Amino acid sequence: MPASAPRRAPRAERSYASGPCTAPLLGDTIGENLDRTVAAHPDRDALVDAGSGRRWSYRQFAADVEALALGLHSLGIRKGDRVGIWAPNCPEWTMVQYATAKLGAILVTINPAYRAHELAYVVGQAGISTLVATRSHKGSDYAAMAEEVRGDCPALAEVVLIGEESWQRLLDLGRSQDPGQARETLEAVAATLSADDPVNIQYTSGTTGFPKGATLSHHNILNNGFFVGELCRYTEADRICLPVPFYHCFGMVMGNLAATSHGACMVIPSAAFEPKAALRAVQEERCTSLYGVPTMFIAELADPDFTSFDLSSLRTGIMAGSPCPVEVMKQVIERMGMAEVSICYGMTETSPVSTQTRADDSIERRVATVGRVGPHLEVKVVDPATGRCLPRGEPGELCTRGYSVMLGYWQQPEATAEAIDAARWMHTGDLAVMDADGYVSVTGRIKDMVIRGGENIYPREIEEFLHTHPDVLDAQVVGVPDERYGEELMAWIRMREGAAPLTEEAVREFCTGKLAHYKIPRHVHVVDAFPMTVTGKIRKVEMREKSIELLDPAHRPGRSN
């Protein structure tokens, strides 16, 4: 370069990070990994069903899993066949998870809230040949709905009802086989399996159209569970309380697979989330870890008997599934004693975790970010319009790449190509900022961003601020149409027990001088509950639709249930 040429200023560091790790990726199938754990910890607790008092050591759990696998094999289930599981959390759910993995079958996890038409779509789209279900749950007659859809789903050959004759027959089929022959059968099947084979299909809860089946391999979910557990510092001495649903990655990957890959114990507090049941299970089973979405922790902290439970065994846990309010995180650390509680961020399509806070992160890091990229993964923040990686500190779309990215959407190559680009980056649709040290803050969904009079507003910032009000239990903010500004803000607020409902004037007064004027919600709606998915994610699309209805001139304000 000529001496007279001007020196270029150094380019700003890009919002890109990769996760270095000394521990190698696991090359096992899920069945092989379970076998290793059983050999190492045969007599340690593997699974406890707190409600019924049933419990299994790893040796006992493996025996039941293998009996079930052999029973399914006797039904004709082979590698690549789809087996559906439609049930709330129960020990049998977990057995089906590992039994299908042993056979190389693909487990299709079905939302317990589905109705007959939704079940028919999933059974038909995935080509499920055997459906394992409970007879009923929360007033839903699963057995009747399964029979109802059979006529439209010719591939569905078997319906097995947990706890009934058809379930017992499966186990008896497996247990009655000659031990030598049974071992030979399972070893022959294992020899045909690869860690890269698909093992799970999870249907994403899309807000429009039919859900898509994210197809995940042994390699995807086993490694994600293992490394999430590594960052939680799990060992065989840990006992993980799992009130989160198994049908979702939070339960079956971050929970079950994190546990079994470390020889830890899975504790099921109840079939569906109940605050008291979760707190009681922690106390009685001396759990060291507790999982939940923010709304679960909010409910536990607000339980009138909260202070009567002994939670001193808790060391860690995971809060994930939706943005975690700072104030709630602080209370979890201070009042529940979860000094090492971890925030995880991810999506079904990435098995699910992409970023996670570490136990030695400062409280400030753990309450204000979703941590750093996970081991063996990459993340970057890009301009949604151009796809170019942005400088650190600038908001854009978060993308992730690595072992965790799904194989694709089941039989939907076009949808797969829209989500995963040619370089194998998964585009999350989430807005995020990466700081100078690689910590990521998720500020909302690209579709949730509100544009008011030309100003881009991220609801997460306002929600966090509203959480600092002493009478606010929880808050969500959505954009609603406005003739003057294009969009305005509406805050949905849940009040603490005994607190008077906040008015729009009271919220405005609380925000004035602390938030920019254009970030102050113009409309306020006090509710008892938010519309949510089974996994605890807030349904903001539904909230926005309801908000538009409420703002109709004929609407009269009042508390909504």
pLDDT in tens, 297-316: 999 999 999 999 999 999 99
pLDDT digits (tens, 9 = 90+) for 81-126: 999 999 999 999 999 999 999 999 999 999 898 889 889 999 999 9
Strand partners, 340: none
CATH fold label, 28-43+57-194: Rossmann fold (3.40.50)
Nearest residue to 239 (alpha-carbon basis) of 47, 40, 30, 38: 47
pLDDT at 516: 82
Bridge partner residues of 373 (DSSP): 355
Furthest-apart CA pair in the chain: how many Å?
A: 88
Distance of CA 12 to the CA centre of its chain: 34
Hey, what amino acid is at 462?
I
Nearest partner of 83 among 179, 92, 62, judged by Cα? 92
Of 60, 58, 66, give the one whose Cα is nearest residue 36. 58
Instruction: Please report the pLDDT score of residue 140 as a whole number.
Output: 92
Whether the CB-CB separation of 279 and 311 falls below 8 Å is answered with: yes
Domain ranges, ordered by start, for the chain: 28-43+57-194, 449-550
Q: Do domains 28-43+57-194 and 449-550 have the same CATH topology?
A: no
Angle, alpha carbons 317-380-365 (nearest 5°): 35
Q: Which helix (H) or strand (E) holds 33?
A: helix 30-40
Q: How would you classify the pairing of strands 213-217 and 265-268?
A: unpaired
Residue 18 has phi, psi (to 5 degrees) of -120, 155
Confirm if 426 and 401 have CB atoms less than 8 A apart: yes
What pLDDT was estimated at residue 535? 63
Positive or negative: CA dihedral 282, 285, 290, 295: negative
- What is the radius of gyration, based on Cα positions, of the chain? 24
Q: CB atoms < 10 A from the CB of 272, how many?
A: 14
Per-residue pLDDT at 11: 57
Per-residue pLDDT, 554: 45
Instruction: Please give the pLDDT value at position 6.
Output: 44
Tokens of 390: 């942005």
CB atoms within 10 A of CB 544: 18
**Taking a C-beta distance cutoff of 8 angstroms, is the pair 136, 147 a contact?**
no
Q: Compute the distance between CA of residue 105 and CA of residue 367 in angstroms, rounded to an integer.
A: 40
- For residue 114, what are its two tokens? 């589905």
CA dihedral 183, 184, 189, 192 (to 10 degrees): 130
- 325 near 463, Cβ under 8 Å? yes
Q: List the chain residues with pLDDT less than 70.
A: 1-11, 205-209, 323, 534-535, 553-561
Cis peptide before 352 (omega within 30 of 0): yes
- 449-550, CATH topology level: GMP Synthetase; Chain A, domain 3 (3.30.300)
Answer for the pair 15, 391: CB distance below 8 angstroms, yes or no.
Answer: yes
Angle of helix 30-40 versus helix 91-103 axis, rounded to 10 = 120
Measured distance CA(379)–CA(373) in Å, rounded: 6
